[in-house]
Structure 1
Amino acid sequence: LDEYRKYIEKDGALERRFQPVIVEQPTVEDTIRILYGLKKKFEEFHNVEYTPEAIEKAVILSERYITERNLPDKAIDVLDEAGSLVKLRAYQLPPELKELEDKIKEIEEKKEEAAAEQDYEKAARLRDEELKLRAKFEGLKAKWKQELAVNRPKVREEDVADVVSRWTGIPVKRLHESDMEKLLNIEVELQKRVIGQDEAIRAIARAIRRSRVGLKGKHRPIGVFLFLGPTGVGKTETAKALAEYLFGSEDALIRFDMSEYMEKHTVSRLVGAPPGYVGYEEGGQLTERVRRKPYSVLLFDEIEKAHPDVFNIFLQIFDDGRLTDAMGRTVDFSNTIIIMTSNLGARLIAHGSQIGFEKKFGVVDYEQMKKNVLEQVKRTFNPEFLNRIDELVVYRPLEKEHVVKIIELQLEHVNKSLQEWGIKVKLHRSFIDWLIDKEYKPEYGARSIKRALQHHVEDVLAEELLRGALRDVEEVEIKVKNEKPYLKPIKKKEKLEAIFNQ
């Protein structure tokens, strides 16, 4: 239709010479029948055999994951490319033939060297050996080709999934894995990365499950969430964990800082500049990124800072799951998870204990804090905006045991980075308690602990490694003595002696 409007409809004299016939795309069942009709031609062309499961998978996966094109076109292309992929893989020389070919090349090089050195006897001997190997190679190759002609390589459903994965960027294992199993395990997987927010994670998981089993509008996004609460307690980390678990990679996270969209004219940056303005052909920052990566998590940081006109665009996305950019293209948001964050809770916490804070750890009344945060949200955002959100998720401030777990998670990352040095770091409980007591600040959340670990662990280790002081060390323990942290290196031989002494 776009091409018809662009090249024919605008020319009245040309347009009246045609009778438009609107052809709707076929259903999934009709497309499967179409592919069965094309099956024989593709099998003859690629010299492969398509399994029934591969044909059905080509239609189902292309319908679900390739949103910019229509059936049967996209399913036919997937089937064609899967056949080509299997053919290329099957027609690579088997290891035995490859090894024989390499040996022939090696003998040929030695023969040329012998001839250059005028050692004709050796050259003749190598020539005879080469001819024998070539005869063997050709015989085995002919037999291999004959076997291929009789037993055509099969195109299976995993080959089709591989093609769709290459096109969409969604890892193959995610296409194979049962969606039901994945949805049932959301809480378990997120809790490995997001510490101390079980209630928030349960609310997110419930909303996503409701959406995926079809209890919501078909075209709406998978989930629309507003994350509230203090800073540094896991709101952004939740978005990253969701992107990795549901879409296979943290690269599926598309992030926007809404402090950049405080002015009225910045709306055009999201959907694209109008015709005639600079940047018209570049498309919008939001629409273009979703168009290229339709399976993603959209993170809008500090949503309360956005201009009211930006919220009007969001209303359409939340309701219909689509948005038309400045170039007239409709972008599908039905396969995205939309997460907005706000630090309204942090501002309330900063004003003292009226929402539940009286000391470094321990919330007197989380429900009261939640109530006050939600009241401020209602005063800040319009009802029509809030009514379109699936879940308002209020994050808890961190308790001491949560901070300890976060330190342990950060230590795992440090040890992973130190693997190439062959060193492992352990933190003594005295150091952990000292670090929390001296460095943890509730108003900054886990970020204050991350900075403290960089200063007291990573910086010290970097200096010691560069000086060569830890060259013979396998394990380092960090302790505290007289209110000062220190490194206790354990040399390899000392560690071995300690094991034997036990």
Structure 2
Amino acid sequence: MVVECRGAQCQRLDPPPGPNLRSPPTHSKGYVGSDTYGKLTAVLRDMPDTVVLLDEFEKAHPEVHKNFLTAWNDGFVTEASDGRQISTTGAIFVLTTNAATDTLSELSGRYASRPEELRRASVQALREAGFAPEVLSRIDRIFVFRPLEGLDIARVGALEIEEMIRGYGLEIAEGGIDVAVLHELVRRQQKLGSVGSSRDLVRAIEDTVADSLIAARQRKLTKVRLIVRGDAIAAEPAT
């Protein structure tokens, strides 16, 4: 919604789990002596009003969290390859997390009509989940979403699957996701509970279909279908 309202581009980054202290956060910049910009700095240079999505931020090392403070406090990030300071003042940073999901869901119900109390309680819950106070102090708004259930899981999972398939240079044929695949997504989500995101579920599916997707690409196919075959999910050419 933010991207649509601003008419901006959205850049999605998956912060690394390790501290990676000798290089900038999320592999976002080049390195000294490089003649190319990194992922984050290149986007901010070319589209300074972009929306930067830091997905599943809790999985990043705490030092990676703190490395973003320069962008938020000082209003720039430094490109390591040439030392240029790239402004971040026009960008919006959106962080997602599955940390403290159950606690936050309970708090959102308890303080539904008291937003200031909800914010204070949410900040405390995230702090107890491992977020540094200095990082939390730079977050302007916290939005708590209810856990996905039933058809919601299927809809979001289908969108994630389509994105994953496009990453292999392929498209899902119309009606090409077997209903049994979506049922499997719902079943796995119910088993994982609130700790499992739709992306976690799709990653598990990708592990089972990656070889067949690569084979389809090598055969110069353009569209595939996902089906359940026995106990596994498989990709097959669309007819």
TM-score computed with the length of structure 2 as normaliser: 0.56
Corresponding residue for 1:444? 196
Q: 1:344 aligns with which of 99, 120, 125?
A: 99
Q: Partner amino acid for 1:246? A: R
Number of aligned residue pairs: 196
Question: SS of the counterpart of 1:331?
Answer: strand
Q: Tell me whether 1:296 sits opposite 2:43 in the alignment.
A: no
Q: How large is the Cα RMSD of the aligned pairs?
A: 4.7
**Relative to 1, partners in 2 of residues 1:294 and 1:344: Cα closer, same or farther, differing over 3 Å?**
same
- C-alpha distance in 2 between matches for 1:373 and 1:384: 15
Q: Following the alignment from structure 2 to structure 1, what is the Cα–Cα distance between the partners of residues 159 and 13? A: 27
Aligned counterpart, 2:135: 385
Q: Deviations over 1:307-326 (max 9, x none)?
A: 53x45553332234333444
Please say if 1:375 is aligned against 2:127. no
**Secondary structure of the equivalent of 1:295?**
coil
Equivalent residue number for residue 13 of structure 2: 256
Deviations 1:414-441 (A, max 9, x none): 9x9435xxxx57999xx79966774542
Measured in 1, the distance between the counterparts of 2:161 and 2:132 equals 43
After superposition, residues 352-363 of structure 1 pair within 5 angstroms as 355=103
Match for 2:72 among 305, 318, 333? Answer: 318
In structure 2, the partner of 1:286 is 40
Question: In structure 1, what residue type is equivalent to 2:91?
Answer: T
Tell me, in whole angstroms, the C-alpha distance in 2 between the residues paired with 1:432 and 1:336.
37
Task: State the one-letter code of the partner of 1:288.
Answer: A
Distance 1:278 1:449, change over 3 A: closer
Using the aligned pairs only, state the percent identity.
21
Which blocks of at least 5 consecutive residues in structure 1 are unaligned?
1-189, 191-241, 350-354, 357-362, 467-502
SS in 1 for 2:72: helix
For the pair 1:330 / 2:80, whether they are aligned, the reply is: no
* Higher share of residues assigned strand: 2
Residue matched to 1:479: none
Task: Give the number of the structure whose residues are more often helix, by fraction.
Answer: 1
On the 8 A contact 1:263/1:307 being kept in 2, the answer is no
**CA-to-aligned-CA distance 1:125-177 (integer Å, 9 cap, x gap):** xxxxxxxxxxxxxxxxxxxxxxxxxxxxxxxxxxxxxxxxxxxxxxxxxxxxx
- What is the rounded CA distance, in whole Å, between the counterparts of 2:202 and 2:18 in structure 1? 31
Of structures 1 and 2, the one with the larger relative CO (CA 8 A, separation 6+) is 2
**Contact 1:439/1:449 (<8 A) preserved:** no
- TM-aligned CA distance change 1:438 to 1:377, over 3 Å: closer
- Contact 2:100–2:126 (Cα < 8 Å) also in 1: no
Question: 2:154·2:183 contact (CA, 8 Å) conserved in 1?
Answer: no
Shift of the 301–340 alpha-carbon distance from structure 1 to 2, 3 Å rule, reads same
Contact 1:344 1:373 in 2 (8 A): no
1:378 is aligned with what amino acid?
R
Residue 338 of structure 1 and its aligned partner are, at CA, apart by 0.8
Amino acid at match of 2:145: Y
Aligned partner letter, 1:444:
G
Structure possessing the higher radius of gyration over alpha carbons: 1
- Alpha-carbon distance in structure 1 between the residues aligned to 2:149 and 2:62: 35
Cα distance in 1 for partners of 2:162, 2:11 equals 26
- TM-score of the aligned structures, taking structure 1 as reference length: 0.30
Residue 393 of structure 1: SS of its match in structure 2? coil
Change over 3 Å in CA distance of 1:376–1:253 after alignment to 2 = same
The one-letter code matched in structure 2 to 1:338 is: F
> Secondary structure in 1 aligned to 2:23?
helix
1:392 Cα shift?
A: 2.1
Note the C-alpha offset of 1:328.
Answer: 4.2
Question: Conserved in 1, the CA contact under 8 Å of 2:108 and 2:144?
Answer: no
Alignment of 1:171-320 (within 5 A): 190=1, 242-243=2-3, 246-247=6-7, 252-259=9-16, 262-267=19-24, 270=28, 272-273=30-31, 277-279=32-34, 281-304=35-58, 305-308=60-63, 310-320=64-74
1:436 and 1:285 mapped to 2: Cα distance?
31
